[in-house]
Every structure is written in C-alpha cells, then in structure tokens.
Amino acid sequence: MFAQVFDVDGSASEAELREVVARCERLKAQAAAAQARAAALWAEKRRMAEAAAGMPVAKRGRGLASEVALARADSPAHGGRHLGFAQALVHEMPHTLAALEAGVLTEWRATLIVKQSACLMVEDRRTLDAELCADQAALVGLGNARIEAAAAAIAARLDAAAVVQRKERAAASARVSTRPAPNGMVQLTAVMPLSQGIGVYAALKREADLRGDGRPRGQIMTDTLYHRVTARPAEAPAPIAVNLVMADTTLFGDDDSPGWVEGYGPVPAAVVRDLVSDAVADEAGQASLRRLYRHPRSGQLVAMESRARIFPKGLAMFIGLRDQTCRTPYCDAPIRHHDHATPARQGGKTSALNGLGTCEACNYAKEAPGWTVTTREAEGRHSADYTTPTGATYHSTAPPLPGPSVRRRYSVIEGGLSIDIVELGVELKRSA
C-alpha cells in the first residue's frame, strides 16, 4: 500500500506530478493530526498509570515530553512544544484539529494558531478556535504570517490583559545565543523586547549610514556591534577565552583536519590556525595550551575518575570536551550539567565512563521514574543507551576529537622482509 502511495512514476505528466506533491502535503498534515491524537492519548494513559501508582500530582508526566521528542527523532528541547500542541488540539481546539486532518492547515500553521492562543483561558481558546477554523474554506490561501496575525488579533480581542501579560513574561525570557554559519562565520542572535531590539538595529544602521570608508554596510554594522559590546576594535584579537580543540598536526600545518570551537562546532583548519596565530601575536592577550590524548582507534578522549560525588573541574572539562554537546540523542543543546549516567545514590562512579554532558532539560528528564541510562566503552568509543519508561532504547556515541584519521606506523620483520604497517582504525594495510 505504502509503495503505491509514495511511488513516483517517471513517465508522469507535470499535472500528475503536481498532484503527487499536493497529495503528499495532505498526507503530512493528516499524519501530524494522527500524531497529535496519539501523543495526547499517551499523556492521558501516563497520567492515569502514575495516579494509580500513587505518584504526587506535581511529579506526574515528568520526562514524557522528552519521550515524545525522541519518538519523533527530534531534540528533547522541542518535546514540550510537541506535547503541548497535541494536548491543546485534541482537548481544546477541535476545529483546528479538523482543519489539520483535512489538509487545509499544515502542521506549522496549526502550531502558530496554538501558540497565539496559549495565553488564553480554555473557554477563550475554544472561541478563537471556532472563529478562525470552523470555516475551513476561509483558511485556504492564507500564509503563515496571515494565519498568525489573525489568531493574534482574535486573542487580543478576547483577553487583552492576557496578551499583555504574555509579552511581559516574554521580556523576562530575553536571551542571546549563537549558531554556526557557513565559511567560518557565526550567527549571534539576541531575543529582546521590541523597543530595545529596534533601538540596537537603528543605532547600528545609523553608524553604517555615517561611515563611508569602503567597507560593506553589513561589515560596518557587525564591527560596530563588536566594538560597543567588547570595547575593543574589531580588528584586535579577542581576549575572551575560547576553548579550541585541534590536532597538533593541524596546528603545525601537516594536515587540514577541522578543529572544534566550544559553543560553535567544526572550524576549517585555516581558520583555527589564524585564531591561534592572532592570539599568540597579541601581546595583551593570553593563550594557553593543554595536551589531550585521543584513543588510537576511536579518536575519543581517554578516561578520568574522581572519588567525589560532584564532578571536579578537570573531569567536568574533560567530559565537556569529549561530548561537545548534550549527549541525549537528537539534542544539540549546549552542555549545562555534568551528570552521572548511573546516579551516585545508586553506586554510580564519578568517572568519565559514567559521566555525561547534558543540557539542563535532558538532565531533569532522565531523572523521571522509568528512565535508565547505561554507558560503556569499547575500542575507545564512549556510548550511552537511553531507555525510556515505555521500553524504547536510543543510542548515543561521543564524537571523535578533531584531527586526521587516527593511525600508527611501525615496522616488523616477516620472512626476512621489513614491512611497514599502517594501522587506520581497525584496518591493517601492509606494503612490502
């Protein structure tokens, strides 16, 4: 059946191919609706089971959002959004759910409606749902921005005070983050109140308008931002500590393997060499070197152990460099906690083998009843298996350190001949 649904005929006409594309989009929407129904029912069954077991109300449902995210092969940080979306649609917004099932709304547009209604009381949310989505024909042709604006307008009319309170709460969640960008660049994102964000942009734009020194407009704005935040010229090397991991062979130009910058990710060899060169050449800066050792087969760091229940600074740094990002499958969040896979209260050791770098949300999720995390090390590879309360197991392996392929070269005498053996991973290559 599925082969027929998703089969694409190479001899099909353009009109037939257009219909295939449209049909697949409707199927995605219908699948999203079924997924929401299943997630909401899953949450209900979990609550009933925990209530029957006598679990306190405040602890019920812990970890379920992370389970939903893992089942969707998504970051656990998004699990709460997925689960909240499902419960809102199934229990409070039947018209939006029906439009999604009919393929009139995409999953993202339904998500935008739920998001704008999140600040409302249940009755007002149901009113918004009926006003906006009861007439499915009125939704046809509306894009993301118009759908979101329509939902926001209805929400503001139904409960203006709730909308204002939501904006005030949003101001308290202002944040700054970074994301890797191509060609050795980074996206610095600041989520802040409207007036502040517009003010920052206007100031940078005004500086670019006043300067005419030949630099591109965007470069003037970014250089000005850097100067005003750090109080240093953009052309001066940054004195702020940056954890940069690279192979010594890359540092000295023997190979072009990428390095790794903490909080960013892989960086081309030429860029990391420039970073090191700039830091060393800057008399006002301070650059330090710490030697780390990779396993000869896997390329991962070797182990460390402590008698303490809390990971000491050196071991915590070791785990952070080894894991690089949160070790929960599909989660790319920065490491915030260094935690025991087997809890210390259950005899788990404070060691690199039993240690994991996790984000805050994932660390709390795995502490919920029914979760277990087991670690092992084979051939120098540190692995962790996450088992959820429903019995599903998800696998995670620490990434290798940056550098060229791990290899060793040595000579042996065999049959009177001198043979060079190059060991690359687990494969032996011989040449007489």
With 0-12 / 13-18 / 19 or more C-beta atoms within 10 angstroms meaning exposed / middle / buried, residue 66 is buried
Confidence category of residue 388, pLDDT binned at 50, 70, 90: very high
CA atoms within 13 A on the CB side of 429: 7
At residue 180, the pLDDT reads: 75
At residue 121, the pLDDT reads: 92
At residue 134, the pLDDT reads: 96
Lowest-confidence range among 122-131, 154-163, 164-173, 208-217?
164-173
What's the mean pLDDT in 301-315? 66
Residue 430 phi, psi dihedral angles, 5° rounding? -115, 145
At residue 36, the pLDDT reads: 97
Lowest-confidence range among 76-80, 88-92, 204-208, 278-282?
278-282
At residue 263, the pLDDT reads: 66
Q: What percent of the chain has pLDDT over 70?
A: 79
- Identify the residue whose tokens are 């060079």: 420
At residue 406, the pLDDT reads: 54
- Indicate whether 379 pLDDT > 60: yes
Q: Which residues have a Cβ under 8 Å from the Cβ of 293 and sit 6 or more positions away?
A: 301, 302
Kindly report, residue by residue over 131-152, the tens digit of the pLDDT: 999 999 999 999 999 999 999 9
Kindly report, residue by residue over 54-73, the tens digit of the pLDDT: 999 888 888 999 999 999 99
- Indicate whether 302 pLDDT > 60: no
What's the mean pLDDT in 336-354? 88
Confidence category of residue 307, pLDDT binned at 50, 70, 90: low
What's the mean pLDDT in 216-222? 89
Strands 372-378 and 350-351: unpaired
What's the mean pLDDT in 100-114? 96
Other beta carbons less than 10 A from residue 73's beta carbon = 9
- Distance separating alpha carbons of residues 336 and 325, to the nearest angstrom: 9
Confidence category of residue 227, pLDDT binned at 50, 70, 90: confident
